[in-house]
Amino acid sequence: METDPLILSRIQFAANISFHILFPTITIALGWMLLFFKWRYSATGNTAWMRAYFTWVKVFALTFAMGVVSGVTMSFQFGTNWPGYMQKVGNIAGPLLAYEILTAFFLEAAFLGIMLFGFRRVSNRVHTLATFLVASGTTLSAVWILALNSWMQTPAGFEMRDGVAYATDWWAIVFNPSFPYRLVHMLLASGLTVSFLIAGLSTLRYLRGDRSESMMKALRAAVTAAAVLIPLQMLAGDQHGLNTLEHQPQKIAAMEANWETGANVPLVLFAIPDEEARTNHYEVTIPNGASLILRHSSDGVVPGLNDYVGNHPPVLPLFWSFRIMVGTGMLMLAVSWAAAFFLWRRRSLPRPLALLMVPMALSGWVATLAGWYTTEIGRQPWLVSGVLKTADALGPVPGGHVALTLAIYLILYVVLLAAYIGVLVHLSLKAAKEGDSSPLPGVLHRPLTQPVAGE
Amino acid sequence: MIDWATLLPLAFAGLMGLAILIYVVLDGFDLGIGILFAVAEEEDQDPMIAAIGPFWDANETWLVLAVGLLLVAFPEAHGVILTALYLPAFVLLFGLILRGVAFDFRAKVPAGRKRRWNRAFLIGSLIASLAEGYMLGIYVLGLQTGLAAFAFGALVAVCLSAAYAAMGAAWLIYKAEGELQKKAVKWLQRLLLFTVLGMAAVSLATPFASPRIFERWFVWPDLLYLSPLPLLSGVLFVYLWRETFHLPKPGDRHALVPFLCLAAIFTLGFFGLAYSFYPFVVPDQLTIWEAASATESLGIIFAGTAVVLPVIIGYSFYAYRVFGGKAGDLRYD
């Protein structure tokens, strides 16, 4: 059997990074959510907040571990499959990756031990500080990684000498044109993912008859956060789209499946784009829709794929992943606003809505992955736009090896994902059974006095 | 005028070496405790996990830092080494993933499934250690392939795993109490033999695998200056071996001594290897300076590293102090 190392390596990278991103997406915002719980506890002295903290810090620990182990894979992968990447742009990617590792290391992994297991061993203040530092660490890591990713999308601040990129302006490299938009979009995505995760699993407990104060507090906080963040995300997404239109018009053309540049371009709601025939089948459209959204005027000119023949990303996956992301976002808006209404006005959740909210626990993952597929596939055939083609970065690894490792990775990921979700459900059901009856945690503002050897 | 183009690659080689050494010592005991799950009773397993619980995340991050520094400071070497070691690197990652998630899953799944994840923890730790040993063996031989290289890699794999298990046992002597501590002393005693064998194998193989390294070591008077490395290791081994017959001592004196001894032995071995390979980052193929990134990029990274690394080390001491002494129950609240 013929095995093509390029496509296999691409699938492998996609599999590894898709698996990896699931977990940081949760830890970035969950850290801040935990800090919020911790702050409410310190401010009110109400131990229900602390119970909510302990419930969710377990999820944080598990998710963080998944993120660490899948992240180790990432740091090896550049060398094993894509050595051409660092050879060509290593002078720019290197420092950004180094800072990512240093901050991740510096704040996250190092303070995690105290955040997870140190509540009885350090003062409340130090424990809150550890939580804050871990949350800052995850967020800062995201900043560096998104700076690098954005630079690959819209490179700036460098010059090519003998086929190798050299930095000329680090400010321009970090704050490249798409970076602020991508950063905001991703941080909001993380917030929404966590909000729906907490809301979904709390609703599972709710459906089991659990009405404990700590669960209701977490549920209300999560639903409120979701209801506030989703309109902000829609605005941020729109702005990000306009930024892409300016800097990567071929990506927009493929996302909208618009084959001809022109005015009065309709918004395609449903279609099966066909790249061979360069047309859409089974189209359902809204007249002038795309022109209105992208140019804010019905006769605005929208770029079409005819301007980029042979040099644009594949249309079908881009078109659909974008629609999955937007569709999930719409559903999030409806569900979070309905839930917020019922929780704040009626103080209860209707059963059909609750039943919908449980699977929506994973809606953030769906939207985040769909969004990343849109932007990453949308960069093809380039690895670094205009600088390095994906095919040219591939290392000399035999296709058979890549196929073998890819198959094992995929099996491992499926097993781990099933186990992860299984554990989340198990923890929720267990918490639902126990309610708020477990013994109270340590005392406010002072570490619990417990004998420690050597003292 | 400081010659940054010469100095920075050297500094990064030093930093990377430091990160690898710290990783081997720290994650060595984590992985070792995983390997010791093979012989541990079920009631010992929770205290064993508690002994590494607050540390392992940060310990594994040293590997990310080491590989990350290789990637960003010596990108070409990263490519050469990891494409040559494609499959063992994959096996290592597989093991590390399994070990890392098993650690968390075993405490959170329904009680009936705990044993399954205990087994995963053992298998993951074992494969990761074997893979690291194998990669070390092949690297020492200058990334050779063939049956002899494979056999040597396999030998180093077994010995490094045994050495890690010895580290795990030594850590347990420090963190555990009662029966488990006594068992750990017995484990350490047996594992020391393999550790000695492994270090001897690597020490002898390196000069014979490469004439260049042979000439670096067996030249007068260099041999004299270098002799403390093997001699001191030998003394430490003998001391540790004798100590295992007297541990645990009344009042738990010297509980940390075995671990510090092994860490010192690892450090000596590390300096031996570093001396052998200098100035190469890929043995006999790429020197530190040939493989280095552009000087200005290294400068940017160096500035950050110089600030962050001391803080990390300082913090690590703090964390080890907060969680110092005998391991209690591992609990979130």
Residues A144-175: tens digit of each pLDDT = 999 999 999 999 988 898 888 888 888 999 99
Contact A31, A138 (CB under 8 A): yes
Q: Is B200 helix (H, G, I), strand (E, B) or coil?
A: helix
* A76 at interface of B, judged by CB pairs closer than 8 A: yes
Q: A444: part of which helix (H) or strand (E)? A: none
Q: What is the pLDDT of residue A84?
A: 85
pTM of the model: 0.85
Question: In chain B, where are the structural domains located?
Answer: 10-322
Q: Which of A443, A451, A232 is closest to A336 using CA atoms?
A: A232
Q: Closest partner residue to A91 among B67, B103, B294, by Cβ?
A: B294
Q: A151: part of which helix (H) or strand (E)? A: helix A124-153
At A239, the amino acid letter reads Q
Which of chain A's residues have a Cβ under 8 Å away from the Cβ of B294? 91, 164, 166-167
CB atoms within 10 A of CB A435: 16
Query: Residue holding tokens 């980029």?
Result: A308
**Tens digit of each residue's pLDDT (9 = 90 or more) over B299-321:** 888 888 888 888 778 877 887 88
B96·A69 Cβ contact <8 A: yes
Alpha-carbon separation of residue A348 from A51, A203, A343, A428 (angstroms) = 21, 11, 5, 19
Q: What is the pLDDT of residue B288?
A: 82
Which of chain B's residues have a Cβ under 8 Å away from the Cβ of A66? 100-101, 104
B325·A114 Cβ contact <8 A: no
Which of chain B's residues have a Cβ under 8 Å away from the Cβ of A71? 64
Q: Which of B277, B95, B270, B79 is closest to A78 using CA atoms?
A: B79
pLDDT band at B58 (very low <50, low <70, confident <90, very high): confident
The residue in chain A having the minimum alpha-carbon distance to the alpha carbon of residue B328 is: A452
pLDDT band at A441 (very low <50, low <70, confident <90, very high): low
* Measured distance CA(B132)–CA(B95) in Å, rounded: 10
For the cut 90, the answer to whether the pLDDT of residue B289 exceeds it is no
Q: Is A2 helix (H, G, I), strand (E, B) or coil?
A: coil
Residue B55 has φ and ψ, to the nearest 5°, of -105, -30
Contact A374, A321 (CB under 8 A): yes
Which of chain A's residues have a Cβ under 8 Å away from the Cβ of B312? 105-106, 110
For the cut 60, the answer to whether the pLDDT of residue A22 exceeds it is yes
* Measured distance CA(A154)–CA(A150) in Å, rounded: 6
* A344 at interface of B, judged by CB pairs closer than 8 A: no
Q: What ipTM score was computed for the predicted complex, to two decimals?
A: 0.78
Q: What is the pLDDT of residue A439?
A: 57
Q: Which of B49, B53, B27, B52 is closest to B40 using CA atoms?
A: B49
For the cut 70, the answer to whether the pLDDT of residue B59 exceeds it is yes
At A83, the amino acid letter reads P
The residue in chain B having the minimum alpha-carbon distance to the alpha carbon of residue A427 is: B108
Q: What is the pLDDT of residue A444?
A: 40
What mean pLDDT is reported for chain B? 83
Contact B142, B283 (CB under 8 A): yes
A401·B108 Cβ contact <8 A: no
What is the interface size between A and B, counted as CB pairs within 8 Å?
A: 224
CA distance B300 to chain A (A): 7
Q: Closest partner residue to B293 among A90, A119, A454, by Cβ?
A: A90
CA distance A121 to chain B (A): 7
Q: Which of A278, A279, A298 is closest to A287 using CA atoms?
A: A298
Contact A192, A364 (CB under 8 A): yes
B64·A72 Cβ contact <8 A: yes
The residue in chain A having the minimum alpha-carbon distance to the alpha carbon of residue B304 is: A99
CB atoms within 10 A of CB A270: 12
Contact B270, B17 (CB under 8 A): yes
For the cut 70, the answer to whether the pLDDT of residue A179 exceeds it is yes
B300·A76 Cβ contact <8 A: no
Question: In chain A, where are the structural domains located?
Answer: 5-178+379-434
Strand runs (DSSP E) across chain B, as ranges? 280-282, 286-287
Query: Residue holding tokens 């070591």?
Result: B217
* A423 at interface of B, judged by CB pairs closer than 8 A: yes
Task: Tell me the mean pLDDT in the region A402-425.
Answer: 90
For the cut 60, the answer to whether the pLDDT of residue B192 exceeds it is yes
Alpha-carbon separation of residue B245 from B182, B190, B253, B328 (angstroms) = 11, 12, 14, 26
The residue in chain A having the minimum alpha-carbon distance to the alpha carbon of residue B114 is: A423
Specify which of A31-45, A399-413, B26-40, B180-194 reaches the highest per-range mean pLDDT: A31-45
**Tens digit of each residue's pLDDT (9 = 90 or more) over B78-90:** 888 888 888 888 8
CA distance A363 to chain B (A): 23
* Measured distance CA(A270)–CA(A289) in Å, rounded: 13
Task: Tell me the mean pLDDT in the region B244-248.
Answer: 78
